[in-house]
Amino acid sequence: MLFNSLNFLVFFLLVYGLYLALPHRAQNILLLLASYFFYGCWDWRFLSLIAISTVIDYWAGRKISSTDGPKARKFYLLISLFSNLLILGFFKYFNFFVSNADALLHFVGFDASAWRLNIVLPVGISFYTFQTMSYTIDVYRRELNATKNFIDFATFVAFFPQLVAGPIERASKLLPQIAGARQVSWRAIQTGLWLIFWGLFKKVVIADNLAEMVDEVFGWHVQFNAGTVFLGLYAFAFQIYCDFSGYSDIARGLSRCMGIELMVNFNNPYFAPNVSNFWRRWHISLSTWLRDYLYIPLGGNQKGIGRTYANLILTMLLGGLWHGAAWTYVVWGGYHGVLLSINRLFASRREKKLVPLPEYGWGRVVRVIITFHLVLIGWLFFRAVSLDQAFDMLLSAIRSPVVDPDVVNKAIAMCILCMPLWLVQILQERKADLMAVFQLPVFARSLLYFTLFMMLLVFGNTGSHQFIYFQF
């Protein structure tokens, strides 16, 4: 059941109507049942994985909390981590490791291809396993008290607006909101509806229309040349952003309408003036998760320059692997790790020489454009079917500087579709407020709503494309 489907509209209206009518404890039971139904619509068999993860982490959390001995606490933490990583590793990475091991063993005359299994990847598995792992780790670190209420915990794990594609919420933020009584203010509903509307616009008008261009290029349906490669890349950059941030916006909007505040997952990432800043604006829930549970435990920047760079690269490599079991994701992660390291190197040199970079005006614009294009190269590896295709496209763009009329048509369409996005984001950046739309005068806001309504009505893609991040 996709957010951009009529089925979901009916589902949400029914759930929301009931939700508003019920008292707090009953609301949580309703949310849990609705979340399991929502997930079961994809494949009810995988509900068992969520249930297993929930039961183990609830039990581990309680045990860690009630035990004082450091060894016992670590033991229960390891049970939680091991079970989550086992589920994730088996469903997501088993075939990847087997096929790579097979390729290696092939050199010495062994055949391990029979080990490959026909495994279906459960939707959203990376999101909810990371979310539950953060709970037990926080309890272990004594940053959070283990919850005693199983329904609350199960609702935290399976909360349907963010179950399949995040944001990866922290228990310390979401659990108290589930456990405590909630107030739904008119202002929350108003801003929640805007987030839903804006997210739908990004998904249905921009992402799904650009998806057709992207699929054409990366599906080898066109001859690679500079025009098609750049069209594919620019289109993918906005497709993935609008697809994922659109989902996050809708998730936040739905939750806000129910009185639950989810974290901001995207903060205009393409306006970042450097790669480090980009990662503070892109998929914030994952990058902060990796920072808190991987980069800092590895030593962060506290163990010397060399170790800092190694930690950065290792964290980003694993971040890349989190997205999918393929070398393209590993290369993408590694590429960002290297960019972050270079950025850190230059930043520390500038600090020593006391040469600040321009934060406003054209200097900043140039830095934003350069950062965007560095990120764009990364997207090539992220989206390519294989590393061969990525390099083939790069070489074709250089060797064949041709632009077809079809590409010009599509580039114009892309600009028209993205125009409202750019205007709203410029406004958000200037006002440093993601809700800056509400600061607009009434006529300007009417024109904006009208444009968005109109584009949704006319250009909205009704093909019900899946969200890209569901596969992760």
Partner 1 sequence: MNPFRLLQSVYPHASVVLAVLLLIMANMIFSQPRIQNDFWPLIQSRLNPDNKDWFMRHVADIRRESCTLVHPVSLPAIAFVGSSQVRQGIDWNLMETLLPDYHIRNCAVPGMDMLRACFAEQLLLQPSDRVVVLWISELDVRPDASLGISWMRPFATWSGLRHSIHSLNTKQRARQWRNMVDLALASTFELWRSRDYLRHILFHSLSSGSTRSAVEQSFEGDWRKDVRTFDIEDMDALTAQMTALFLFVSTAKANGASIVVFEGRVNPSICTETSEKRRSWVRERLLAAALEYGFDYIPTAQQQVQIEPADWSDMTHFNVAGREKMTRYLAQFFNAWRGRTDGPVNTADQSVDFMKYMK
Q: Which are the catalytic amino acids?
A: 323
Q: Which member of 108, 120, 355, 458 binds partner 1 (CB under 8 A)?
A: 458
Q: Are residues 291 and 304 in contact, defined by beta-carbon separation less than 8 angstroms?
A: no
Residues 330-389 that bind partner 1 (CB under 8 A): none
Nearer to partner 1 among residue 193 and residue 394 (C-beta): 193
Q: Are residues 153 and 126 in contact, defined by beta-carbon separation less than 8 angstroms?
A: no
Instruction: Please tell me the distance from the alpha carbon of residue 398 to that of residue 125, in angstroms, as a whole number.
Output: 39
Nearer to partner 1 among residue 107 and residue 443 (C-beta): 443
Q: Which member of 102, 212, 292, 429 binds partner 1 (CB under 8 A)?
A: 212
Burial of 37 (0-12, 13-18, 19+ CB in 10 A): middle
The least CB distance from residue 413 to partner 1, in Å, is 5
The encoded tokens of residue 53 equal 């993860």
- Longest Cα pair distance anywhere in the chain, in angstroms? 73
User: For residue 193, what are the CA distances in angstroms to 250, 267, 268?
Assistant: 9, 19, 20
224: left (phi over 0), alpha (psi -120 to 50) or beta: beta
Q: Which member of 97, 346, 391, 453 binds partner 1 (CB under 8 A)?
A: 453
User: Which residue stretch of 76-84, 128-136, 161-169, 448-456 sits at the interface with partner 1 (rule: CB under 8 A)?
Assistant: 448-456
Number of residues that bind partner 1 (CB under 8 A): 30
Instruction: Please tell me the distance from the alpha carbon of residue 33 to that of residue 162, in angstroms, as a whole number.
Output: 15
Q: Are residues 242 and 202 in contact, defined by beta-carbon separation less than 8 angstroms?
A: yes
Nearer to partner 1 among residue 10 and residue 29 (C-beta): 10
Answer yes or no whether residue 215 interacts with partner 1 by CB under 8 A.
Answer: no
Residues 2-31 that bind partner 1 (CB under 8 A): 6-7
Burial of 263 (0-12, 13-18, 19+ CB in 10 A): middle
The least CB distance from residue 30 to partner 1, in Å, is 25
Answer yes or no whether residue 302 interacts with partner 1 by CB under 8 A.
Answer: no
Amino acid symbol at 454: M
Answer yes or no whether residue 439 interacts with partner 1 by CB under 8 A.
Answer: no
The encoded tokens of residue 141 equal 């670190």
Answer yes or no whether residue 220 interacts with partner 1 by CB under 8 A.
Answer: no
Nearer to partner 1 among residue 4 and residue 274 (C-beta): 4
Q: Which member of 78, 385, 395, 412 binds partner 1 (CB under 8 A)?
A: 412
Answer yes or no whether residue 447 interacts with partner 1 by CB under 8 A.
Answer: yes
Alpha helix ranges (H) inside 354-441: 361-383, 387-399, 405-431
Answer yes or no whether residue 433 interacts with partner 1 by CB under 8 A.
Answer: no
Per CB under 8 A, residues contacting partner 1 are 6-7, 212, 216, 404-406, 408-410, 412-413, 416-417, 441-443, 445-450, 453-454, 457-460, 462
